[in-house]
Amino acid sequence: MLPVEGTIVPLVTPFDSTDRIDSAAVGRLVAHILEAGADALMPTALTGEGPLLTGAETEAMWEATFAAAAGRVPVVPAVIATTTREAVRLASRAHAMGAAAVMTAPIVPELYAGRSRSDVRGFIEAVADATPLPVILFNYPSLTGVDLTPDFLAELADIPRVAYVKESTADSRRVHAIHRRCEGRIEVICGNPNAALESMALGCRLWITGILNVVPREARAMLHAVILDADLERARTIYYERVLPLVDLMFETSNPTGVIKAGLRARGVGVGVPRPPGSDLAAGDLARLAPLVSRA
């Protein structure tokens, strides 16, 4: 099982002016995140523009993250690959680097129709066989083309080392459905900021979502208010005033990564802008962001 509970921050990937990974900026980003008390780090997830990175860039981002973390917190790399062979290679590499666990998204695109459950299961089995580490499944159907429903997860829970699912559909009913259907064999990780409070109230003890880059301290305080203190009033205050206004802007602009990277820059952490075809926020949206970051 994971040696951590709490907030796992899916780091953005800093790029320099030549569109290369900026290792020095990774160090500054990790210092910012850890100073705020985050419990673990996750490089190259969707927030880290993982689908836009080459295999070599993915490994470079991992290496920079491990170096900056220096053993202070667990590192949980995200393995995002469209082929089983590459996913297996990356999972094995993550273990060799000292990862605490890996998260994998079963991106198994098909030109004509969705992949079968047996194809998806085969992908996950191959990744799990490649490493002795705990495996987190990432349920984000709009990215992967695969919906890890509670019934499907009950089947996947039989795979050794598959013990978690990052549930990112924003349907909080999935949390209790997975708990009930899987009977404790799969732990649900809150993966969507729009369903965070209710997911925590339903028992999620881990939170992974992109806006944690900008508000790591506030997010951790919110999770602790629910899980440790059973103080829903305090949790609601943090959620409504510090977290959700930023989340609203992410979705209103249709540019979540742009908002997160701009939010970090507003906090004094230079991480560049999204890799094309992504882009920075427009001037008007940057103006809307500034008071939200200063308030958080």
How many domains is the chain partitioned into structurally?
Answer: 1
Q: Which pLDDT belongs to residue 124?
A: 96
Q: Which of 217, 216, 168, 177 is nearest to 196 (CA)?
A: 168
Half-sphere CA count of 219, side-chain side, radius 13 A: 33
Mean pLDDT of 177-184: 95
Q: Residue 169 belongs to a domain with what CATH number?
A: 3.20.20.70
Q: Residue 4 has which token pair? A: 């951590």
Give the Cα separation of 277 and 258 in Å (integer): 11
Model confidence band, residue 109 (pLDDT cutoffs 50, 70, 90): low
Give the Cα separation of 177 and 192 in Å (integer): 16
Model confidence band, residue 295 (pLDDT cutoffs 50, 70, 90): confident
Residue 263 maps to a domain: no
Does residue 35 register a pLDDT over 90?
yes
Q: Which pLDDT belongs to residue 145?
A: 83
Does residue 296 register a pLDDT over 70?
no
Residue 1 maps to a domain: no
Does residue 183 register a pLDDT over 80?
yes
Residue 171 maps to a domain: yes
Residue 258 maps to a domain: no
pLDDT (tens digit per residue) in 155-170:
999 999 999 999 999 9
Does residue 147 register a pLDDT over 90?
yes
Q: Which pLDDT belongs to residue 2?
A: 78
The whole-chain average pLDDT of the chain stands at 95
For residue 72, the enclosing domain spans 6-229
What's the predicted TM-score (pTM) here? 0.96
Helix and strand numbers, DSSP H then E, in the chain:
13, 8
Higher pLDDT, 112 or 88: 88
Residue 142 maps to a domain: yes
Half-sphere CA count of 38, side-chain side, radius 13 A: 30
